[in-house]
């Protein structure tokens, strides 16, 4: 934590404690991230673009959008195990070199991270599938959107 300049803080509030533990895990396991695929019950690993499922013994009751994992288990189907939910903004903050979107391959994961980054910067993508990053919020873009809607 000292090497990454993360404050050494203890919390009596369990929610903050668990959040801080998960943030610390992101710092160490940033290459072992998976993103939930739209309308599917599977995940895509960010590093290898492998489609995987949550192992039945992973311990999660829900299927969060973003997870980090410790184990990749190959049975009749590839699974990830020892999994916890993470927030995508943590990925952008705590592993900025690895999650540099300029060099990220195009796809659903990149678009999801671009939306997170735009939201963080106070910009909202004009359309969820936009790769270019044109944003609402400026008067000219709002006028342009209204004009297109009328046409």
Establish if 145 belongs to a structural domain. yes
Nearest to 33 by CA among 50, 19, 57: 50
pLDDT score recorded for residue 132: 38
Question: Chain centroid to CA 13: how far?
Answer: 25
As a whole number, mean pLDDT of residues 91-100 equals 90
Parallel, antiparallel, or unpaired for β 33-36 and 135-136? unpaired
Backbone angles phi, psi at 82, to 5 degrees: 60, 75
User: Does 1 map to a domain?
Assistant: no
The count of domains in the chain is: 1
- 27 within 8 A of 4, measured Cβ to Cβ: yes
Does residue 21 carry a pLDDT above 80? yes
pLDDT in tens, 36-94: 998 788 999 998 889 999 999 888 889 999 999 999 999 899 999 999 999 999 999 98
pLDDT digits (tens, 9 = 90+) for 106-129: 888 899 999 999 998 887 654 444
Residue range(s) defining the domain that contains residue 41: 14-150
Question: Given pLDDT bands bounded at 50, 70 and 90, which one contains residue 150?
Answer: very low
DSSP 64: -
In a domain, 29, yes or no: yes
Instruction: Please report the pLDDT score of residue 114 as a whole number.
Output: 93
Residue among 47, 44, 54 at smallest CA distance from 30? 47
| Range 28-33 average pLDDT | 93
Residue 114 counted as domain residue: yes
* Per-residue pLDDT reduced to its tens digit, 131-148: 333 333 333 344 444 444
Q: How far apart are CA 7 and CA 95, in angstroms?
A: 17
pTM of the model: 0.71
Assigned domain for 73 exists: yes
Residue 3 lies in a domain: no
Residue 57 lies inside a defined structural domain of this protein = yes
Q: CB count, 10 Å around CB of 3? A: 6
């Amino acid at each position: 934590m000292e090497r990454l300049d993360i404050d050494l803080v203890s919390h009596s509030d369990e929610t903050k404690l668990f959040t801080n533990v998960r943030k610390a895990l992101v710092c160490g396991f940033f290459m072992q991230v998976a993103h939930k695929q739209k309308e599917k019950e599977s995940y895509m690993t960010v590093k290898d673009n492998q489609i995987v499922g949550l192992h039945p013994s992973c311990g999660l009751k829900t299927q969060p959008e973003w997870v980090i994992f410790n184990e990749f288990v190959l049975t009749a189907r590839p699974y990830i195990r020892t999994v916890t939910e993470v927030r995508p903004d943590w990925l952008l903050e705590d592993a900025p070199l690895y999650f540099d979107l300029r060099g990220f391959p195009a796809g659903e994961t990149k678009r999801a991270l671009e939306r997170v980054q735009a939201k963080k910067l106070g910009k909202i993508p004009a359309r969820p599938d936009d790769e270019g990053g044109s944003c609402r919020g400026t008067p000219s873009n709002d006028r342009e959107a209204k004009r297109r809607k009328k046409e």
